[in-house]
Amino acid sequence: MTVFSSPWWLDAVAPGAWTVVESEVPGARGRMALRKHQRRGLRVMGHPPLTPYLDPELAIESDKTESRLHKETLLVADLVDRLPPHDLCVLRFSPAVHHVLPWRWKGFYTTVTQTFIIDLDAQDADAIDASMGVGARRKLRTSRKDHIFDPDVPAGELARLTEVTMRSKGRSTGYTPETLTRAADAAVARGSGAVVGVRRRSGRLMGAALVVWDERSAYYVAGGRDPDAAAAPGYQLLRGAIDLARHHAPTFDFEGSSDPGVAQFFRGMGGRPALTVGVGRLTGRLRHLERIRGSASARVVFGG
């Protein structure tokens, strides 16, 4: 089970607003967690806030590729048929999910986006540093002269900086400070995450981030920085988060960004590109809006 499908995570980010669909076919069983809510009178199913991926959790009894794919096709088809009634369903899967044709055969469209990943179990700390861009390494050295990495920042401080950062961009976070605080506190309490930060040597917090992990990967979930902070501490923040994640997961997933500046930042940290697939379906009253394609478009129209 991924961290984002865990009941404790869903209770934190979508209390009372999530459901689980389960299925079993010969030689295979599966489950899928989803958020369900009303948006402008429409029945919407998809991701809770702060939840970049919602993979179907499949247990398939077979060592043969053809047999596994056959059972997966049957299992996904049955899971889809068991979804609660909805007008819109939009999901995004992690890079671990490759077989999406069963979703298309059940009437879902597919989209492709990109994240950046660092392979932690194949590199030591020196190799990770060497994989960073020249400019990123220079900014990291600059930041370390005047700042220190803090592996244990209060969740409320992260929520404050995240709000400040998004306001400065004229945008909304898409979640409340209370939601972020609940998610961070829940992850830390279960040993499945940390709120990390970078402070000036005087003690002032200049940036913070929430990182969570499971046996598959660690994930950068949310972050923010002080309005007076330069760019350099951001490199120290993520580099410290990556070092921490090395003790818990084999990879570090930056969770991507369509913003060119953020994507360049992640690339400079040494991340390699990895594709992620999204699926979506319009039903009932929304069939006349079939021209809408992609989770990004759906979020613009219907919200997250």
Q: What is the pLDDT of residues 173-188, one digit of tens each?
A: 889 999 999 999 999 9
| Angstrom distance (rounded) from CA 263 to CA 80 | 33
| Angstrom distance (rounded) from CA 129 to CA 140 | 10
Confidence of residue 289 (pLDDT cuts 50, 70, 90): low
Confidence of residue 156 (pLDDT cuts 50, 70, 90): very high
Q: What is the pLDDT of residues 70-98, one digit of tens each?
A: 999 999 999 999 999 999 999 999 999 98
* The CATH number of domain 121-249 is 3.40.50.720: no
Q: Which CATH number fits domain 3-114+276-302: 3.30.200, 3.40.630, 1.10.12, 1.10.3470?
A: 3.40.630
27 Cβ partners below 8 Å, 6+ apart?
60, 61, 62, 67, 71
Stretch(es) of the chain classified as CATH 3.40.630.30: 121-249
SS3 state at 130: helix
pTM over 0.85: yes
